[in-house]
A and B are shown apart, each in its own frame.
Chain A
C-alpha cells in the first residue's frame, strides 16, 4: 500500500506546495517594496536630524528665532529664511488660489467640452514644465518686465502701503512669490477640478430645480459642498509652494533679511540649501544647513499630511453620497 501511495503524494503535493511558496514569496517581495515608503520616511527624518546634531546642540531653539546668518563667526539662525519661505508662499497662494479655483469652476461647470479638453492638456503641460526652465524664463523675461512695468506701477498706485515701497531691483520677494504662484497654479487647479467633478450631480439638479442660475448652482450646490476638498487642494498647493527651489532661487534675490517691502530681495529655506550647501566650509555651517532642511521637511510633511487627510475625507464623503 505504502509503496503505491508514497510516490503519488509528492507528485500531486509538490506543485501546490511550490505554488504556495512562490505565492508567499511574491507577496513578501511586494510587501517589502511597499514598506520601503516607511523606510524612506524614517530615513529622511533620521538622516537630517543626525546630520544636524552639531547645530541642534549649539543653537537649540534659538536657531529658529535668531536672524544672524554669519558663516565667518559661525553664528546661524533660520528666521530670515523661515520668513522668506512663509511670505513668498503666502504671496503665491494669494495669487494662485482665486485663479485656480475659478479655473476649476470654468473647467467643470461652464466651458464647452472641446475647450475643457484643450485647457486641461495645457494645464497639465504647465505642471510638467521643469522648475529650472521657469526660473530661466523668470530671470530673463519676467523679472525685467516686473522691474520696468509692474513694480513702478504698483509703487505709484499702492505706494502708501509699506509693502510697496523702497528701491526696485527686479529680483525680489514679490518676483519669487509670482514664480511660485505659476508653479502651484496647475496643481491646485487639477486637484480642485477632480474635487468639483466628484460633486454628485444630484446636488446641481436640486439647485437647478429651484430655479437657480448657473452661478448660483455653482456657489450654493457645488462650491459649498466641495469646500472641505477645495481647502485640501489649497493646502496641497501650500506644501508644494514651501518646497519650491530652483525657480525661486533664481528670482528672489537671495539676501537673508526681514523687511516689509516686497520689492526687496529675500531668501527661502530651500534656496539657501541650494546655494550654500556645496560651499559650506565648516561642520557647524553644514550642520546648520541640514537643520534648515529638517525644518523644511517638518513643515512640508505636516502640511502635506494635513492636505491628504482633508482630500481623503472629502473623497469618502462624496462616495457615501453617491451610494
Chain B
C-alpha cells in the first residue's frame, strides 16, 4: 500500500517533469522553424543587386530593396531623436526624483503605454501629423516609431539607474557637486552601458514595426529625398510583397525578411554578449 502510493507519486513526478520539458521545446520550435525557412527561402535571393538597386516594376525580374534598407535606418534615426532624450530623461526622473506615489503612477502609465497596440499609434500620428501636412511622410513615420520607443526606454533606463549603488550618489553630493551633475556625470555614466543596451533593444523592436508605418511613412518605390515625402521601410516592403500575387516579389519578401531578421537577432544577441562580459568582469 505504502509502496504503490510512493511509486505513483514518483511516476507522476517523472511524467510532469517530462511534460514541462516537452512544452519548453514546443515553445522554441516555432523560432527554429521561422529561422530555418527565412534562411532557406531568403538566402538564394540575396545578392549585390538586392542591397544596391531600387525595386523593379511588376513583371521585370530582379531589382532590390536598397531604398527600404536605407529608409528603415533613416526612420530609426528620426525615432531615436525623439525617443531617446524623452525616454532617458523620463527614466532619470523615475529613478532619481519624484515621490513614491507619483512615480508609481508614471510607471503604471508607461507600462500601459507599452501595451497599446502599435497600430493605434499609427492612427493617432496620422490624425496629428499626416492630416495637417496633407501627406504621408518620413517625419510622421519617425514620430510614430519614436513615440513607441519612449515608454520602452523610460522603463529600461529607470531599471539600470536603480542598480547604481546609493553610495555613489552620497559620495558625490558630499563633495558638494550639485545634484544634476551628480546624476549626469556619476549615476548616468556608471549605468551608461545599460542605458545604451535599452536603447538598442528598443530600436531593434521598432525596426520590425509595420502596422504603425502603413499610414504614416506609407512606403515608397523610389528614394526618399525629403522628410515630408513618403519613405520606404523594410517591414512595409516585406508586407506589400508578401500579400502580392507575384512569385518574384515573394522571393524578394523572403530576402527582405532575412535581412531584417538578421539585424534584429544580431542586436539582441550582441547586446546579450556585451552585458554578459560585464557580469563576468564584475565577478
Residues of chain A touching chain B, judged by Cβ–Cβ distance below 8 Å, are 19-20, 22-23, 25-27, 29-31, 33-38, 40-41, 43-44, 47-48, 50-51, 98-100, 102-103, 105-107, 109-111, 119, 121-126, 128-137, 139-141, 182, 185-186, 189, 213-216, 218, 236, 239-240, 242-246, 250, 270, 273-274, 277-278, 289-290, 293, 296-297, 300-301, 303-305, 307-309, 312
> Is B58 on the interface with A (CB-CB < 8 A)?
no
Dominant secondary structure at the A interface: helix
8 Å CB interface, B11-55 against A: 12-13, 16-17, 19-21, 23-24, 26-28, 30-31, 33-34, 37-38, 41
In the bound complex, residues from chain A placing their C-beta under 8 Å from that of B115 are 236, 239-240, 243, 300-301, 303-304, 307
* Cα separation A186 to B24 with both chains bound (whole Å): 11
In the bound complex, residues from chain B placing their C-beta under 8 Å from that of A309 are 108
Query: Would you give the shortest CB distance from A19 to chain B, in whole angstroms?
Result: 4
Query: Would you give the shortest CB distance from B140 to chain A, in whole angstroms?
Result: 13
Dominant secondary structure at the B interface: helix
* Cα separation A294 to B89 with both chains bound (whole Å): 30
Q: Show 24 A/B contacts (Cβ-Cβ < 8 Å), sorted by A.
A: A23-B179, A26-B184, A30-B92, A33-B89, A33-B90, A37-B109, A37-B150, A44-B124, A47-B123, A106-B21, A126-B31, A128-B204, A136-B38, A140-B242, A213-B12, A215-B12, A242-B117, A245-B211, A246-B210, A270-B117, A273-B123, A278-B215, A296-B117, A297-B116
Are A213's CB and B260's CB within 8 A?
no
Are A304's CB and B24's CB within 8 A?
no
Contact partner of B93 among A19, A31, A124, CB < 8 A? A31
Query: Would you give the shortest CB distance from B258 to chain A, in whole angstroms?
Result: 9
> Is B76 on the interface with A (CB-CB < 8 A)?
no
Query: Would you give the shortest CB distance from A43 to chain B, in whole angstroms?
Result: 7
Are A305's CB and B89's CB within 8 A?
no
> Is B196 on the interface with A (CB-CB < 8 A)?
no
Nearest 7 Cβ contacts at the A-B interface? A130-B208, A243-B117, A304-B115, A26-B180, A102-B23, A30-B93, A106-B20
* Cα separation A239 to B120 with both chains bound (whole Å): 14
> Is B68 on the interface with A (CB-CB < 8 A)?
no
* Cα separation A245 to B111 with both chains bound (whole Å): 20
Size of B's binding interface in residues, CB under 8 A:
88
Beyond A37-B110, A296-B119, 16 additional pairs, beta carbon < 8 A: A26-B179, A30-B89, A30-B93, A41-B112, A47-B127, A99-B27, A106-B24, A140-B242, A185-B30, A240-B115, A245-B211, A246-B210, A250-B243, A289-B123, A304-B112, A308-B112
Chain B minimum-CB-distance residue to A95: B26
In the bound complex, residues from chain B placing their C-beta under 8 Å from that of A26 are 179-180, 183-184
In the bound complex, residues from chain A placing their C-beta under 8 Å from that of B87 are 33
- Using A98-B23, A111-B24 as known contacts, say yes or no to A133 and B17 having CB atoms under 8 A apart: no
Are A141's CB and B178's CB within 8 A?
no
Are A119's CB and B250's CB within 8 A?
no
Are B24's CB and A119's CB within 8 A?
yes
Query: Would you give the shortest CB distance from A216 to chain B, in whole angstroms?
Result: 7
> Is B214 on the interface with A (CB-CB < 8 A)?
yes
Are B31's CB and A129's CB within 8 A?
yes
* Cα separation A109 to B23 with both chains bound (whole Å): 14
* Centre residue among A98, A246, A289, A297 by max chain B CB count within 10 A: A246
Residues of chain B touching chain A, judged by Cβ–Cβ distance below 8 Å, are 9-10, 12-13, 16-17, 19-21, 23-24, 26-28, 30-31, 33-34, 37-38, 41, 85-87, 89-90, 92-94, 96-98, 106, 108-124, 126-128, 147, 150-151, 154, 178-180, 183-184, 204-205, 207-211, 214-215, 218, 235, 238-239, 242-243, 250, 253-254, 257, 260-261, 264-265, 268-269, 272
Are A308's CB and B108's CB within 8 A?
yes
Are B211's CB and A40's CB within 8 A?
no
Are A214's CB and B243's CB within 8 A?
no
Contact partner of A123 among B27, B110, B154, B179, CB < 8 A? B27
- Using A36-B86, A136-B238, A250-B243 as known contacts, say yes or no to A44 and B116 having CB atoms under 8 A apart: yes
Chain B minimum-CB-distance residue to A130: B208
Are A36's CB and B261's CB within 8 A?
no
Are A304's CB and B111's CB within 8 A?
yes
* Centre residue among B31, B85, B218 by max chain A CB count within 10 A: B31
- Using A22-B178, A37-B151 as known contacts, say yes or no to A133 and B27 having CB atoms under 8 A apart: no
- Using A44-B120, A111-B21, A128-B265 as known contacts, say yes or no to A30 and B97 having CB atoms under 8 A apart: yes
Chain B minimum-CB-distance residue to A244: B117
Contact partner of A278 among B116, B179, B214, CB < 8 A? B214
Query: Would you give the shortest CB distance from B108 to chain A, in whole angstroms?
Result: 6
